[in-house]
Structure 1
């Protein structure tokens, strides 16, 4: 698999090249010294994965990511000195289409590359996602778990997203005031160490309170819960409490939208809306179908407003969405669904 490096710092470029070549698993496609050069090179020779610096002269990593995703879309991972320090710009880049972010490896006093294993693990994870996306598999209609019987009461809006998701989720949630009469659960493909920063950033951007979902949490109207990243999937149990589970372990997506949607279809007994937003890959389509078959209203983002039309396309192909809408209309559809079930 071919990796491109975009970084304005010579030492960072050197460390990244050494790390990639020494792994024996990847090849260097090309190296760019700024975002503008990266856009040109990506058009001429599209790599499998780009390691994109965030802060650069000429054209920064956010705008370079946006242009590459428009002109020569491929998997992009933001590699920056400090993900947490630059959280707002990192999420802006993820909204433009970056898949994930990680701190830049550095040379320690001993000459060892600090952060090497973390970056290689991230690369391996993204490479599996790229390969899974390339494999053409027939779409089979999954057999959903036995659904709960919806009835009046608490309203839950469950949202799944991947590539381009942070910006889309911010746009969607910004339409709702504090005290909006629904609970929200968000499954965004994100690294475990990155999930708390995502929740904090979103909390600062929207009127509704946002926090990371914890083991044993109950759904509460007017609150947004974000799934933690890493090796565990967010799930709902028979008591309608949230928790984390390692199974299924063979999923390339963690946390998985399918896993949460399917557990919700089985155990949630109130009204709900399931939403699948922009994202690379196929996660979420089967889960959205399970929600639809359980009596929930389901929505998929349309092709035109998706940064990557992968996950929503899977939902459309499975006929899992009650509606396929542009991002700007999804908040209105949520309000209409809630109003239909009042009384």
Structure 2
């Protein structure tokens, strides 16, 4: 039942609690989620629905800020309901479901349909599982609340502000297996007015300079191998030297400079996407756009989550267009990505976020 006393206390102080509708066929799960909401000073459970039909009527009548949604329900399942909800009445949704054998497929489809996040239900008897689950739920619901004023195709979440200005912005790209072919297709869709682009492609020493030279002749950006201390310029892309880490730092007089260093392997790689993304999160934060392309392993996934938490807007390449879906998958699992898109849609989306016109790919001419 709705927490009327909490809602009344917010009304008396002039505040507005986050209004959440809980949709789950399990009475136990509904009770657990409503109890979590009752413990938060800024949230209220406005209703509980045991199936899609009840949920539909409650959404019409209550107009909740966020919906929590189970996947396995009688009648219409969660994915079908999510698809109809996003088509007919877009509402921020946090999926909360038990893992199944089709778990990863379900996660990806929910993301593609517009779910803000996918949270696994806690396993009974696991020490600390309930507390960790509550923390994840609260964080994801607050994130979802910020999507209320905007809806994106694909992975739905809050949009960065002041998108029309590229001043002080950075684009950071991570790639591995398949990235040498994916990255030029992305760069071909960018505008010469794009902010500096930094690229970490897993590559041994001796190959990156030739790779940068090849990219330089394929698209609208000037592309070069990054040099330590080099000022970063709009309309330019910088490739991490093979066998060295690439990071970014603030320049003394404003703007950004490249940092190229040796050092230990990070996530078993040098250059490492993790190193780049962490540095971009630190110096650019909400002024950054992160992109995770095809690749094996999980390099950069957790750092991309830090990038998102710093306010950046992140995109990942989808499975259908990835040579290897490892790195995008891990980034998605980490909750790092606001959108999951086909490769050829990423460049135009980046330009749209920046308020710029996308270039026409040579393949389209």
Matched, 1:233 2:245: yes
> In the alignment, is the contact (CA less than 8 A) between 1:150 and 1:268 conserved in 2?
no
Cα-to-partner distance string for 1:252-296 (whole Å, 9 max, x where unaligned)? 111000111001111226722100000011111112111111111
Cα-to-partner distance string for 1:67-107 (whole Å, 9 max, x where unaligned)? xxxxxxxxxxxxxxxxxxxxxxxxxxxxxxxxxxxxxxxxx
Which residue is equivalent to 1:133? none
Q: In structure 2, what is the Cα distance between the partners aligned to 1:150 and 1:191?
A: 38
* Equivalences for residues 106-117 of structure 1 within 5 A: none
> In the alignment, is the contact (CA less than 8 A) between 1:155 and 1:221 conserved in 2?
no
CA spacing shift, 1:238–1:173, aligned 2, 3 Å: closer
* Equivalences for residues 292-307 of structure 1 within 5 A: 292-307=308-323
**Deviation of the 1:187 alpha carbon:** 0.6
Which residue is equivalent to 1:313? 329
Larger radius of gyration: 2
> In the alignment, is the contact (CA less than 8 A) between 1:183 and 1:220 conserved in 2?
yes
Which residue is equivalent to 2:193? 180
Structure 1 length normalisation: TM-score?
0.52
3-state secondary structure, aligned to 1:252:
coil
Which residue is equivalent to 2:147? none
Which residue is equivalent to 2:216? 203
CA spacing shift, 1:321–1:269, aligned 2, 3 Å: closer
Q: In structure 2, what is the Cα distance between the partners aligned to 1:235 and 1:208?
A: 20
Segments of structure 2 that go 5 or more residues without pairing to the other structure are 1-134, 136-159, 357-365
TM-align CA RMSD = 2.2
Q: In structure 1, what is the Cα distance between the partners aligned to 2:338 and 2:180?
A: 23
Q: Select 2:340's aligned residue among 304, 318, 324.
A: 324
Q: In structure 1, what is the Cα distance between the partners aligned to 2:174 and 2:265?
A: 19
Matched, 1:222 2:235: yes
Q: Select 1:276's aligned residue among 277, 289, 292.
A: 292
> In the alignment, is the contact (CA less than 8 A) between 1:189 and 1:255 conserved in 2?
yes
Q: In structure 1, what is the Cα distance between the partners aligned to 2:214 and 2:250?
A: 31
Segments of structure 1 that go 5 or more residues without pairing to the other structure are 1-140, 142-148
> In the alignment, is the contact (CA less than 8 A) between 1:150 and 1:269 conserved in 2?
no
CA spacing shift, 1:201–1:298, aligned 2, 3 Å: same
Which residue is equivalent to 1:76? none
Q: In structure 1, what is the Cα distance between the partners aligned to 2:198 and 2:265?
A: 22
**Deviation of the 1:180 alpha carbon:** 2.4
Matched, 1:212 2:225: yes
Q: In structure 2, what is the Cα distance between the partners aligned to 1:207 and 1:326?
A: 21
Q: In structure 2, what is the Cα distance between the partners aligned to 1:275 and 1:202?
A: 17
Q: In structure 1, what is the Cα distance between the partners aligned to 2:315 and 2:264?
A: 25
**Deviation of the 1:155 alpha carbon:** 2.5
Matched pairs, number: 191
> In the alignment, is the contact (CA less than 8 A) between 1:216 and 1:242 conserved in 2?
yes
> In the alignment, is the contact (CA less than 8 A) between 2:170 and 2:197 conserved in 1?
yes
Which residue is equivalent to 1:336? 352
Structure 2 length normalisation: TM-score?
0.49
> In the alignment, is the contact (CA less than 8 A) between 1:280 and 1:310 conserved in 2?
yes
Q: In structure 1, what is the Cα distance between the partners aligned to 2:212 and 2:312?
A: 26
